[in-house]
């Protein structure tokens, strides 16, 4: 019999002798025996012709019906027994006969009571539960060393991974701190270089303006002298008195000779300052940083190949929503904007410039032109489909390849048709070797690297390469009536 280490008693010691089950609201008679409150009441009521009450265990008679009190201690023991880990003591009876389970059939590997010996267990190898209990415990004990060894191995792996996480965190934090210091130093040098170049430009500008201003002053001085000479000449010509004219003639001649000297003076033409050298130096600095950023991305590119789809979901997972304004009239969109289904009847979508009017296509509301983005599409409910991306500029109206995903240079498509898988771009088809039929397909768009990777059952099926720095949208095509595909939620 099973016992609880918590209570120190066997389950049978907590069973009512009347109902043979665990006590329910146990009460104790004056003789010391306990019963379920309902059981003792029913026992006394069943003895209508007997005017006295007795104990079902010891048969002691009570002339007056005893006043029974709840046995609080016994009730607590019952509650503790019910909480014994892994043991449901209330179900320790045979479900067929209601008798205590005492035997174990090795042929059927089932628990049974004594009455089960007659019937389906005839001629079976039956042993007491205590014996098979010891045997099976021995089997489990034999597996303990192997389990302990596996546990130690996993704990060692976990410890190593935790240590690597801590080392990575420490290394990353130290690197980030050092990079931040270098950024501040770089800012300081860049600011100092730009300020120095600006100062040089302004200084040269002021020097040139100063020289030009001096030339302007000299020209103004000569112009004033010329104006005075012109006034003297006009006055001499207007002087009609002979003696007065002759007296001033020599002075006028001198002034005219001075003006002639001014007019023959050649002045240097002002030129615009050339700052192309400074701008070239700054341009070289910008180009240096462009190349620096390009080289930084290379290690990340190597790490991408090590990421599984679970990591891609966590790092770059997206759940696109379908754009109802783009859905072909034969496509029905679910309320949550995740599922596209081709229907047998024409859906009355309002006219819209973004709507596909010929092919059973629909695009997402979101568009991407930078960063990394990963999404998955459930395709288990579709026999034929096409899934990929397209530029916003891809045509939606009319027939022809311009409006069919993958058949033009503005779209990239993974397609299933007649249980075969293809890739399409610019009307070029490639047959893929895909074992089985994936229930989900995944897509990773890396805009900066210009890569669009297609996954099926955790395998890379194909990698498209192109210019994805212009906005592109996830796109879906459903080709058979009743088929549906769905953007998966992360």
What CATH number matches the domain at 309-487, 3.40.190.10, 3.40.50.10860, 2.60.120.920, 1.10.10.60? 2.60.120.920
CATH fold match for the domains 11-90 and 309-487? no
Min mean pLDDT across 99-113, 323-337, 449-463 is at 99-113
State the helix-helix crossing angle for 129-238 and 242-263, rounded to 10 degrees: 150
Q: What's the maximum distance between 2 C-alpha atoms anywhere in the chain? A: 180
pLDDT of residue 300 exceeding 60, the answer is no
Query: What is the structure's pLDDT at 301?
Result: 45
Q: What is the dihedral of CA 365, 369, 374, 376, to 10 degrees?
A: 30
Q: Does domain 11-90 have CATH number 3.40.50.300?
A: no
Q: pLDDT tens digit string along 239-255?
A: 667 777 777 777 778 77
pLDDT of residue 100 exceeding 50, the answer is yes
> Which of 306, 199, 315, 216 lies closest to 268, judged by CA?
216
User: Would you list the domain boundaries of the chain?
Assistant: 11-90, 133-263, 309-487
DSSP state of 316: H
DSSP state of 41: H
Radius of gyration of the chain (CA): 49
pTM tops 0.75, yes or no: no
Is residue 384 classed exposed, middle or buried when 0-12, 13-18 and 19+ CB atoms within 10 A define those classes?
A: middle
Q: pLDDT tens digit string along 101-122?
A: 889 999 888 998 888 888 788 8
List of residues 6+ apart from 359 with CB closer than 8 A: 328, 399, 403, 404, 405, 477
Q: pLDDT tens digit string along 44-54?
A: 888 766 677 88
């Amino acid at each position: 019999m099973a016992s609880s280490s918590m209570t120190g008693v066997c389950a049978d010691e907590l069973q009512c002798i009347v109902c043979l089950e665990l006590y329910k609201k146990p009460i104790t008679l004056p003789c010391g025996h306990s019963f379920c409150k309902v059981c003792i009441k029913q026992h006394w009521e069943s003895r209508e012709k007997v005017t006295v009450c007795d104990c079902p265990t010891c048969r002691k008679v009570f002339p007056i019906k005893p006043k029974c009190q709840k046995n609080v201690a016994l009730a607590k023991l019952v509650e503790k027994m019910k909480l014994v880990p892994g043991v449901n003591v209330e179900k320790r009876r045979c479900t067929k006969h209601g008798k205590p389970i005492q035997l174990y059939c090795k042929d059927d590997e089932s628990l049974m009571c004594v009455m089960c010996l007659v019937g389906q267990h005839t001629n079976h190898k039956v042993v007491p539960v205590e014996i098979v209990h010891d045997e099976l415990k021995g089997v489990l004990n034999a597996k303990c060393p192997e389990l302990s060894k596996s546990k130690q191995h996993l704990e060692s792996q976990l410890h190593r991974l935790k240590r690597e996480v801590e080392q990575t965190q420490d290394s990353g934090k130290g690197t980030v701190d050092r990079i931040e210091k270098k950024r501040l130093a770089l800012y300081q040098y860049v600011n100092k270089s730009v300020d120095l170049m600006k100062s040089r430009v302004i200084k040269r500008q002021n020097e040139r303006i100063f020289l030009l201003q001096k030339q302007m002053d000299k020209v103004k001085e000569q112009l004033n002298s010329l104006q005075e000479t012109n006034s003297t000449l006009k006055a001499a010509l207007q002087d009609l008195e002979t003696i007065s004219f002759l007296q001033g003639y020599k002075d006028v001649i001198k002034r005219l000779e001075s003006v002639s000297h001014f007019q023959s003076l050649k002045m240097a033409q002002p030129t615009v300052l050339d700052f192309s050298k400074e701008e070239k130096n700054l341009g070289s600095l910008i180009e240096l940083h462009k190349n620096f950023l390009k080289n930084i991305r290379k290690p990340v590119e190597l790490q991408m190949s090590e990421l599984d789809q679970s990591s891609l979901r966590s790092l770059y997972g997206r759940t696109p929503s379908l754009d109802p304004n783009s859905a072909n009239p034969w496509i029905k969109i679910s309320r949550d904007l995740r599922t596209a289904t081709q229907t047998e009847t024409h859906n009355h979508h309002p006219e819209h410039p973004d709507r596909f009017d010929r092919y059973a296509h629909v695009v997402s509301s979101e568009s991407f032109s930078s960063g990394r983005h990963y999404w998955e599409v459930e395709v288990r409910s579709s026999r034929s489909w096409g899934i990929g991306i397209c530029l916003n500029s891809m045509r939606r109206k009319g027939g022809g390849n311009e409006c069919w995903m993958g058949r033009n240079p503005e779209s990239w498509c993974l397609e299933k048709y007649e249980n075969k898988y293809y890739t399409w771009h610019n009307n070029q088809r490639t047959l893929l070797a895909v074992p089985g039929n994936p229930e989900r397909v995944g897509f990773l768009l890396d805009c900066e690297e210009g890569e669009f990777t297609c996954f099926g059952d955790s395998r890379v099926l194909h990698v498209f390469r192109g210019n994805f720095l212009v906005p592109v949208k996830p796109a879906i095509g459903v080709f058979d009536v009743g088929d549906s595909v769905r953007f998966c939620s992360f």
